[in-house]
């Protein structure tokens, strides 16, 4: 019985961790050329000027955590504003690509 309870708790913890990871979305808003040069693991690509039209391909959940980044933080700031105007309530500008991974790691 103890083993079944332990296994159940382990499975619940694993499911909870996976659900949390799935709820976090990382979006690279740079150009396709910049994306092709390299991007963060697990990042999705939407150019900042298309984010309003394409975000629903990734999520309809207005409360999911969305990190946006670019080269310097400027375009990701614009993308953040667009998403907030669409009602997304947990959008975070992670800045430039060189800082974004450390920033995201510190918040998750």
- pLDDT tens profile 70-101: 999 999 999 999 999 999 999 999 999 999 99
Show Cβ contacts of residue 83 under 8 Å, excluding neighbours closer than 6 positions: 51, 52, 55, 66, 68, 91
Contact 91, 84 (CB under 8 A): yes
- pLDDT tens profile 28-49: 999 999 999 999 999 999 999 9
Is residue 58 flagged as an active site residue? no
* Total of domains in the chain: 1
In a domain, 103, yes or no: yes
Three-state DSSP state, 87: coil
CATH at 36: 3.40.250.10
Position 97 scores a pLDDT of 95
User: Of the listed 70, 83, 92, 94, which one is catalytic?
Assistant: 70
Provide the domain limits for residue 78: 23-107
In a domain, 12, yes or no: no
């Amino acid at each position: 019985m103890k083993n079944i309870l332990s296994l159940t708790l382990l499975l619940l913890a694993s499911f909870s961790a996976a659900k949390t990871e799935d709820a976090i979305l990382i979006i690279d808003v740079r150009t396709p050329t910049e994306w092709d040069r390299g991007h963060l693991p697990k990042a999705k690509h939407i150019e900042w000027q298309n984010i309003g039209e394409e975000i629903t391909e990734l999520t309809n959940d207005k409360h999911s955590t969305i990190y946006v980044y670019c080269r310097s933080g400027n375009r990701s700031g614009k993308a953040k504003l667009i998403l907030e105007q669409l009602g997304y309530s947990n959008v975070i500008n992670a800045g430039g690509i060189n800082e974004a991974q450390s920033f995201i790691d510190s918040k998750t």
